[in-house]
Copies of this chain bind each other. A is one copy, B any other.
Amino acid sequence: MATRRAEKMEETRQRLLAAARVAFAEKGYAAASMDDLTAAVGLTRGALYHHFGDKRGLLLAVVTEIDAAMAARAHAIGQQCGTLWDALLAEGAAYIDMAREPEVQRIVLLDGPAVLGDPSQWPSQNSCLQTTTQVLRRLIADGTVRAVDPEAAARLINGAALNAALWVAASNTPEEVLPKAQEAFRVLASGLLA
């Protein structure tokens, strides 16, 4: 089949994606130059526009990739918990933790919403949100959690966690602030219990 060609093409796509992650994370979306970014991996803007359409398309691809990785990681952590409720708390803590990484923070939490709009409208559908919603739905079904709209609760929980993470990361003393944030998260989440 057309393997040789498609193979190489996929490789350049990945190289561009990787370079974009670094550039967007370090300089931010607006300040990242497409010329510099492509040159860093030995290509030109031609390749970029061929693969991703425009600068925004590139950001979308990067965000989708990171979002999927986050959701997978959170899901894996949740799986290791004895009860579903513990899984929910653990996933929340995981989000707070992940959002401390500069790459996640800058790209997914700050530039992502500004450039691509509300996360729930992204094509990736915000996998993180989906994961949390699923867990909540089951918790409501088995009576652990009060009867609220699962999607609404998931959005609030996620928003709280991500906001907490932003706070921790921007703090001068993250080590002191992190436990406070996690404790507050647990207290707040307990409001959902039946």
Contacts and interface: CB of A to CB of B under 8 A. Distances in A.
Interface of A: 28-30, 109-111, 113-115, 117-118, 120-121, 146, 148-149, 151-153, 155-164, 166-167, 169-170, 177, 180-181, 183-185, 187-193
A170 B117 contact: yes
Nearest to A119: B166
Contacts of A184: 148-149, 152-153, 155-156
Count copies of this chain in the complex.
2
A155 B187 CA distance: 13
A190 B192 CA distance: 8
A191 B28 CA distance: 37
Nearest to A106: B114
Nearest to A28: B114
A145 to B, nearest CB: 9
Given A152-B177, A157-B160, 20 more contacts: A110-B117, A113-B166, A118-B166, A118-B167, A120-B166, A120-B167, A148-B183, A152-B180, A152-B184, A156-B160, A156-B163, A156-B164, A156-B181, A156-B184, A156-B188, A159-B162, A187-B192, A188-B188, A188-B191, A190-B191
A135 to B, nearest CB: 15
